[in-house]
Structure 1
Amino acid sequence: MTRDPHHRHSPGRIAAAALAVGALAAGLTGCAGGGGGSSTLDTKADTTITWWTGQADQAETILEGLAKQYEQLHPNVTIDVSSGAPSTEDLLAKLSAGFAGGTYPDVSYAFGSWASQLEQSGRTLDITDQVSDPAVDWKGFTAAARATAQPDGTKTIGFPAVVDNLSLIYNKTLFDAAGLSYPTNDWTWDDFRSAAKKLTDQAKGQYGYGYSVSGSEETTWQFWPHLWQDGGEALSSDGKQAAFDSAAGTKALTFLQQMAVDDKSVYLDQTDTKFGQLFAGDKIGMITSGPWQLYDLKTAGTKYGVTYLPGTDGDHQTVSGPDVWALFDHKDANRAHWSYEFIKWLTDPKQDLAWNVKYGNLPLRESEVDSPEFQAQVKALPGLEVMAANSANAKHARPTVPGYNGLSEAVGDQISRVLQGQGEPEPALKAAAQKADQALSGNGP
């Protein structure tokens, strides 16, 4: 099912899942609104809403318990709760089939990369007016999380469900052995490169840094902070064309090329999984990863620390891939009302502490960081507090446009080639942009 305890799906698997259902994109668009029920709101009427959590095991148990709590608070509301599909990756296909057959839920977990496709289905609610209420504390969510829930910049299709970001994780054992000072939140990329060279000892099979060259979304999303910190953008302002093939993009990829090809200080991972394992086994000095990594490191007994990503001119931007609770329209005022009210309640700090924080995810809002519940998780998973603070550096949202998966594949493929010495940054990014533009126009593979 979705997340094993304290684990997050890799970005590569998320992108692959969306690509696998690409043939169903037509089912997500051009669908007329379905359902049909009460056109006027009666908050006392008995109402049933369907909730697909996309979760399993401990996570599903927690959410089912919260659904029961809500039903006790509102006896006229019944929440038909289930995982929704055999795995989170299968939810998009299940939603597409539901749109066609009129059997889609009122609320579903959704990967952020699906947000634009869901919005274009014509089936989502628009809750923009409701979340403008100061009592909702919409601005308490990170900028990246808000943007993901508003994929076209105007309509709000749901609430943030899970937030994350990439931080720098360093291996204290290797830093101590090399006599190096630990990284700090003020590090530059030059500091990072210098340390990576000093930590590399190929005779021992030891590297300063690990980077994915699988060509998956793991490869691509690790690149975005470099691009953004250098002043570049992934997309044009209208979201219709690639913009990463810029001077900023070339500078960002050249830096990684120099580390991988010239310094030979980067372990190039074809699998997306080995670099984490090698880091845990004291064979890689630094990785850029997220909250899902900490449970493995604790289990392995690895001595590690966490800081922000190194920065460019004081800019320490990171990348975040928030997921959402998408709300769907059944042309029933009562179902729409209670779907919104339930998810608003679920994402309030008290319930978020009982869900995301208890499960080992980052809290949705900064206001939860000082809570006893989060501090207990920090004690169990040191570094989680740094990752929570790093959410403030998630100023860009990872793109959610329908063609993003094709764009990601094009960028990831060219980055992988360059880091393995098979190309140069500028022409590689130009080639990637051509394929990305085809994907963005709907004419990609």
Structure 2
Amino acid sequence: MRHRTSSTVRVVAALTAAGTALALAGCSGDSKATELDPDADVTITWWTGQADEAESLLEDLAAEFEKDHPNVTIDISPGASSTEELLQKLSAGFASDTYPSISYSFGSWASELESSGRTQDISDKITDPDLGWDEFSEAARATVQPTGDKVIGFPALVDNISLIYNKTVFDAAGVDYPTDDWSWDDFRKAAKELTDPATETYGYEYSVSGSEETTWQFWPHLWQNGGEILSDDQKTSAFASEAGVDALEFLRGMAVDDKSVYIDQTDTKFAQLFAADRIGMMTSGPWQLYDLNTAGTDYGVTVLPGTHGDHQTVSGPDIWALFDTGDVNENYWSYELLAWLTAPEQDVRWNVAFGNLPLRASEIDSPEFQAQVEAFPGLDIMAANNVNAVKSRPTVAGYVGLSEAIGSAISRVLQGEGTPKDALEEAAQKADQALADNN
């Protein structure tokens, strides 16, 4: 299991900017089919954004699809030396009219991809009952429909953050394990009871690096309190509200007043200390379970604590973006490939086999996923927690600047500098400027 870095990527400001021409097969050619002929020979180009084992799994699936559809040739490759480079290559491809049919894309790119005018719109197809569109989480569906208008592709990967607790630390302190109906007050009380300065043991942890790790841990607190990240028109920030101030004050009270929070400036040390039985609780995702099992840590997993019964979490879905190559046959078969790939029968051989959460709720009871649960206890709870991923992080171009602004504010407050209200209002000004500069 690998933690993706999609949330920290700085996106290219203008996808339609001029770029270096790419020698790709995706949409280059002498003629384009304008009338659909599903039996015509067709080549579609697929950038997977993957490497090593993940790429091999997808290549095997592509070969299987080709065998079942002899008229279809799939030109499959990672597309770039790293996933982070795909957006720049897409931008250059749009400028030279030589872009792929399908590309893996971080969810944070979705709005910019749609604004390029090069994506397909499959809105009229997702109502097909056989597609099972409602089986994808709300956050995943929202990410492939970034402006609420077009549906530009399919979910590719889903995750969320859950509450992971260290049973050894709880047992040593004589504290009852968390339950799925815990409130944040229950959480705070337990964190204080778990903290022991003599052994340098902390109840909870929080990253104060100012990165997206800092930011996205805050969004469930904001949402559960009734707050929003952006205004309705997505042009200005909305987090410096009473809901936002209350959420940050709660975390400040734990970190500064209770001193029950390990303040991590590295994004990584907290997980090591948790595995070593020095931290009682952390909020994280499925990528942590491999390391915890390797370390032999005795842990449990449940949903995030809630506010008035709302246990909303945050998710960072990535997508398979579908591009309109101008050839109706290519467009038809690129859609058919993704509809097939994201069906439960194939997803258990891709996401589940690789150690990711299943895309669809119907896969949770599959033998393939249950085998992963046996290897990584708690993975089933994280998969079920996708029902609490009801909102998606913004995909607007200015989100990176917004995230940096509020991440810095959270970091300062949790280290005892300034008040939540002042810090969030200052962050909102910076966030609004970033949003204005990118719109």
Give the TM-score, by structure 1 length: 0.94
Matched, 1:261 2:256: yes
Q: CA RMSD in A?
A: 1.4
Matched, 1:231 2:231: no
Mapping for residues 178-327 of structure 1, pairs under 5 Å: 178-327=173-322
For residues 279 and 417 of structure 2, the distance between their equivalents in structure 1, rounded to whole angstroms, comes to 24
For residues 401 and 192 of structure 1, the distance between their equivalents in structure 2, rounded to whole angstroms, comes to 33
Hey, what does 1:435 align to over in structure 2?
Answer: 430
For residues 25 and 233 of structure 1, the distance between their equivalents in structure 2, rounded to whole angstroms, comes to 27
Quick one: which amino acid aligns to residue 14 of structure 1? S
Hey, what does 1:3 align to over in structure 2?
Answer: none
1:203 aligned counterpart, secondary structure:
coil
For residues 18 and 289 of structure 2, the distance between their equivalents in structure 1, rounded to whole angstroms, comes to 36
Of residues 47, 65, 69 in structure 1, which corresponds to 2:64?
Answer: 69
Shift of 1:442: 1.9
Matched, 1:159 2:151: no
2:185 aligned counterpart, secondary structure:
helix
Is residue 15–residue 90 contact of structure 2 (8 Å, CA) maintained in 1?
Answer: no
Relative distance call for 1:170 and 1:28 in structure 2 (3 A) is farther
Matched, 1:43 2:38: yes
Is residue 158–residue 358 contact of structure 2 (8 Å, CA) maintained in 1?
Answer: yes
Is residue 28–residue 117 contact of structure 1 (8 Å, CA) maintained in 2?
Answer: no
| Paired positions, count | 430
Q: Deviations over 1:350-399 (max 9, x none)?
A: 00011111111111111111111111010000000100111000111111
For residues 7 and 371 of structure 2, the distance between their equivalents in structure 1, rounded to whole angstroms, comes to 33
Give the TM-score, by structure 2 length: 0.96
For residues 122 and 240 of structure 1, the distance between their equivalents in structure 2, rounded to whole angstroms, comes to 20
Matched, 1:18 2:10: yes
Where structure 1 has 5 or more consecutive residues not aligned to the other structure, the ranges are 1-5
2:110 aligned counterpart, secondary structure:
helix
Hey, what does 2:24 align to over in structure 1?
Answer: none
Matched, 1:177 2:185: no
Percent identity over paired residues? 67
Of residues 344, 347, 370 in structure 2, which corresponds to 1:352?
Answer: 347
Of residues 16, 20, 27 in structure 1, which corresponds to 2:17?
Answer: 27
Quick one: which amino acid aligns to residue 370 of structure 1? D
Quick one: which amino acid aligns to residue 27 of structure 1? A
Of residues 57, 80, 84 in structure 1, which corresponds to 2:75?
Answer: 80
Matched, 1:125 2:120: yes
Matched, 1:144 2:139: yes
Is residue 18–residue 114 contact of structure 1 (8 Å, CA) maintained in 2?
Answer: no
For residues 93 and 304 of structure 1, the distance between their equivalents in structure 2, rounded to whole angstroms, comes to 41
Hey, what does 1:336 align to over in structure 2?
Answer: 331
Matched, 1:395 2:390: yes
Is residue 112–residue 148 contact of structure 1 (8 Å, CA) maintained in 2?
Answer: yes
Q: Which has the higher helix share?
A: 1
Hey, what does 1:381 align to over in structure 2?
Answer: 376
Shift of 1:26: 5.2
For residues 270 and 139 of structure 1, the distance between their equivalents in structure 2, rounded to whole angstroms, comes to 39
